[in-house]
A and B are shown apart, each in its own frame.
Chain A
Amino acid sequence: MSLDATTRSRLVGLFVDEAQETVTSLESLAERMSGGPEPEALAQFGRAAHGLKGAASALGFEDLAGILHDLEALTLRLEGDGPGRRADGHSRLRRAVGLLAGGIAEMSASGRDGFPGPVVAALRETLGAAPAPANGPAAPHGAGVQRTEAHGGPLAGEAVVERLSVPADEVDDALRLAASLARGVAMLEERLGGDGAAAQAQGLGEVARRLEASIAALRLLPAGMAFSGLEGEAEQLASRLGRQVRLEIQGRAVRADRRTLQAARGLVRHLLRNALDHGVEPPEERLQAGKPRAGRLTLKVETAESVLRVAFEDDGRGFDVPAIRRELERRSGAPGAVAALSDAEVLQRFASEGGSTRESASQISGRGLGLSAVAAAARASGGSLEVVTRRGKGSSVSFSLPLDVYAVETLSVRCGGRLFGIPLSAVERSVCLGAAAGAVHQGPTGRTLAIGEGIVPLAGLAEVLGVAGAEERFAVVVRGAEGTVALGVEEAGAVAGVVPATVPGLAQNDALVTGLARLADGSVLQILDPRHLVAAFRADRPRRAATRPAPAAPPPAPARALEVVLAEDSPATREVLRVLLEQHGLRVRLAADGDEALARIGERVPDVLVTDINMPRLDGLSLTRRLRDEAATARLPVILLTSQDDARTRAAGAAAGADAYLVKSRFDASLLLETLGRIGLGGRR
């Protein structure tokens, strides 16, 4: 890996920070283990050493990586040792951690690019490892030098860069103040307008913005910088394993706090090593499988409000789920319980527990600790991990980490007299309800709003948040993981870039409000999490519909397959739709037009009507209006399924009382199922 001096220096700085945190953790775990057998502490110790080993190796600190490998091996041996040998092992382990801490502290204090040689020798002696051969181990990754200092000085030609250690909280405070100052000056500039003082205010504003950017740069790095050098690292590691790969990093411009990105880099390194050791096939094998010679690795980085999301994908073999299942069965001693798990659950459990389907460990990976280290780190920080695999096609491991500090562009909206910010990345559009009154319809499952691309459910933001306030002058269309919804608000105002602060004690997992920012005028902006907002909207929609006055509410249906009346005049389309729906567990009764549909519904009211619009005798819109006029069917959910894809027909559908509008050219069963979920029928199939 060829790096310029500045980049290398920055990466070494990141390594030293990470190493100091890891060593602190190792010290604490070693202390815990001194009291007696602590299997969990031992496992954590092994994972932490494993993580640092990857980081050391990536920077060419091969001696240190080898020592960490030996330290990790020592922890594994301790699991099976008897009391006498265990005491000796623990003693060596504590001495080794002390030496390691000293070596890292020396690196930190001196700013040198290399782990001190004398400390390496002392660690080897402590761990009982063989000294390095005269010709040394394999050359480190592209650096061309063994990054261990033999003489305690910096390597020739390398600059010593001074690093300052500053409490992150203080930088965050400074950043928030600078952001507040920049906003305040901007408001002042606006108010001064063409006044003579405006030029001075502009100058001040420029200083404030530069101050904000400068402090932000201390805390918020572009992901591209945090992951720089990873492509070279991937190629070097691949080459050692006889693989060829190309790593693509998406989302380089994403900015996030240094600590979280640094943690993510450490986790990605685990995943990279796993992918190269287990996933990506050798070139010949790939060619035989019809794949390109070089494996494709993709790292996707994004921030979603207060969370950093990272996905690492490869196009290799994929996880061997049957082998993992066998390993879990063997380990658990309860094959029946493992057999009952789905493949996804097996993968999740494997990721959590760690382990390997291999018989021997390599220095690259192979102990199965990497994935569990990622899962443990993500969980410990309040994040999550997800594994998806397709045998022979590749796998994807995604994890999320909460951000320490984040900047977000928000649309500010007012509701119940309070100011909320909806992240702009989740806002599809805002609509003035006064001008679009005809597009709002009160349906049996609640209100809907017809907009250009479809009909979306509508509710007041106040209702969803459970706060007082009924006035709705605007609707903001917000996209979340569970679909798109429209939220009625009093005002939809300016777009503001803010650096929110999290509130201590507010739950991270499902918080509606992820952070607060104080604006220059002193008002407080509450930043909403679109995912949880949409989830809360969906969860509460049946209750809102149920509390709406209705003429003759049908009794709650017993748990059974969802029954659909499908009205479609084309026999072929009707048959295709019937098969599709039945394949997904729905019971279908057919009608060739609106009149027949009325007859079927008259025989027995179904759970939902799916109807075409253009049909002979009685079209879908007239059918919907007729149903709405009858007490027994006024609340029957109606989904229009048509080839007409224009705004006027959509609005007509909403006005007639339809709950959803689907276009045949984009139709598939999953879309229908999603729509059923959206209108409150998702759990009944």
Chain B
Amino acid sequence: MRPLPFRIRPGGRAALEAAARALAGRDEDAGESVAGLLAVTFRLGGDRCAVEAGVVQRAVLRLGGVVPVPLAAGGERLVAFVEERPVPVVDLSRPGPRTPEDLSAAPALLLSLESGPVAVAVEGPLDLSEAPIAQAAESAREDPEVPRLVGRLADGVSLIDAEWMRRFAARTLAP
């Protein structure tokens, strides 16, 4: 693996957020000048996973204060405040959704959907990595509940399809 353009110490929240902001705002040329894929890494069910950093608006180290909001149609939607704005939360963790209390301590990736931002809760630690794609996954029939892999990075991390992640969030939030 090449030296990383951004190496964030686990727990270095300010640095990670600054790097995530830089990544979210990077221009096309800057992305191309670095070999390999810039990705935000995390864990799902203990497995190391990653998603392309360009789709992540913000990496949130700890959601903090996740509250369930009751819906008129029944059921609830989980909401957390990210930078003073409430955003819906969906849980990508395996094997299943966690309680609001557990999610309050969880990290999340802020993605942009048509309806607005959504926080996709994952398992930590969050990190930023750059590695070439070692293997591309063959296209498989999409299972809405199982993260769709698009490949594997050279360091063995499973690369999750960012579009699948968006669709998962949109499906979970759909009334």
Contacts and interface: CB of A to CB of B under 8 A. Distances in A.
A255 interface: no
Contact of B81 (A502, A506, A518, A536): A518
Q: B65, B81, B173, B175: which has the most chain A beta carbons within 10 Å?
A: B81
A511 to B, nearest CB: 6
B118 interface: yes
B118 A524 contact: no
A655 interface: no
A513 B85 contact: no
Interface string A173-206: 1001100100000000000000000000000000
A465 B115 contact: no
B66 to A, nearest CB: 9
B35 interface: no
B118 A526 contact: no
B140 interface: no
Given A467-B76, A503-B77, A504-B118, A524 B67 contact: yes
Interface string A422-439: 000000000000000000
Contacts of A526: 67, 69
Contacts of A507: 71-73, 175
A524 B70 CA distance: 14
Looking at chain A, what size class is its interface with the partner chain?
Answer: 20 to 34
Nearest to A540: B74
A505 interface: yes
A512 interface: yes
Nearest to A169: B85
Contacts of A466: 70, 74-76
A249 interface: no
B79 A503 contact: yes
A183 to B, nearest CB: 13
A418 B67 contact: yes
B122 to A, nearest CB: 19
A522 interface: yes
Interface string B48-66: 0000000000000000010
A618 B71 CA distance: 48
A177 B85 CA distance: 10
B87 interface: yes
A505 B115 contact: yes
Nearest to A173: B84
A510 to B, nearest CB: 4
B117 A511 contact: no
A679 interface: no
A589 interface: no
B70 A503 contact: no
Given A177-B84, A516-B86, A505 B118 contact: yes
A578 to B, nearest CB: 40
B113 interface: yes
A487 B62 CA distance: 35
A532 interface: yes
Contact of A512 (B65, B71, B118): B71
B87 to A, nearest CB: 6
Contacts of A501: 84-86
B69 A516 contact: yes
A414 to B, nearest CB: 13
B68 interface: yes
A437 B34 CA distance: 72
Interface in A442-481: 465-467
Contacts, number: 78
Nearest to A502: B86
Nearest to B173: A505
Contact of A536 (B65, B72, B83, B87): B72
A467 B70 contact: yes
A513 B84 contact: no
B107 interface: no
Contacts of A173: 83-85
B88 interface: yes
Nearest to A526: B69
A524 B115 contact: no
A501 B79 CA distance: 12
Contacts of A465: 70
Contacts of A532: 72
B1 to A, nearest CB: 37
A536 to B, nearest CB: 6
A277 to B, nearest CB: 40
Nearest to A515: B86
A522 to B, nearest CB: 6
Nearest to A532: B72
A516 B86 CA distance: 7
Contacts of A524: 65, 67, 79, 81, 86
A460 to B, nearest CB: 13
A504 B116 contact: yes
A522 B65 CA distance: 8
Interface in B85-106: 85-88
B138 to A, nearest CB: 33
A418 to B, nearest CB: 7
B11 to A, nearest CB: 21
Listed residue (B68, B86, B113, B173) with the most chain A CB atoms within 10 angstroms of its CB: B86
Contacts of A467: 68, 70, 76
Contacts of B75: 466
B137 to A, nearest CB: 30
A68 to B, nearest CB: 33
B118 A180 contact: no
B45 to A, nearest CB: 26
Interface string B147-170: 000000000000000000000000
Nearest to B114: A505
Contacts of A505: 77, 88, 113, 115-116, 118, 173
Contacts of B69: 503, 506, 513, 516, 526
A518 B69 CA distance: 14
Query: In the complex, which of the residues A503, A504, A515 has the most CB atoms of chain B within 10 Å of its own CB atom?
Result: A504
A536 B75 CA distance: 13
Contacts of B65: 518, 522-524
Contacts of A502: 86
B25 to A, nearest CB: 16
Contacts of B115: 504-505
B160 to A, nearest CB: 22
A516 B70 contact: no
Given A524-B67, A524-B81, A503 B87 contact: yes
A539 to B, nearest CB: 9
Interface in A529-567: 532, 536
A512 B70 CA distance: 7
A81 B118 CA distance: 48
Contacts of A503: 69, 77, 79, 86-88
Given A465-B70, A512-B70, A506 B85 contact: no
16 contacts: A180-B84, A418-B67, A466-B75, A503-B86, A503-B88, A504-B88, A505-B77, A505-B88, A506-B71, A506-B77, A507-B71, A510-B72, A518-B84, A524-B65, A524-B81, A536-B72
Given A467-B76, A506-B71, A510-B73, 17 more contacts: A173-B85, A176-B84, A418-B67, A466-B70, A467-B68, A501-B85, A503-B69, A504-B87, A504-B118, A505-B173, A506-B77, A507-B72, A512-B70, A512-B72, A516-B86, A518-B84, A524-B67
Q: Which 3 A-B pairs have the closest CB atoms?
A: A504-B116, A505-B115, A510-B72
Interface of A: 173, 176-177, 180, 418, 465-467, 501-507, 510-513, 515-516, 518, 522-524, 526, 532, 536
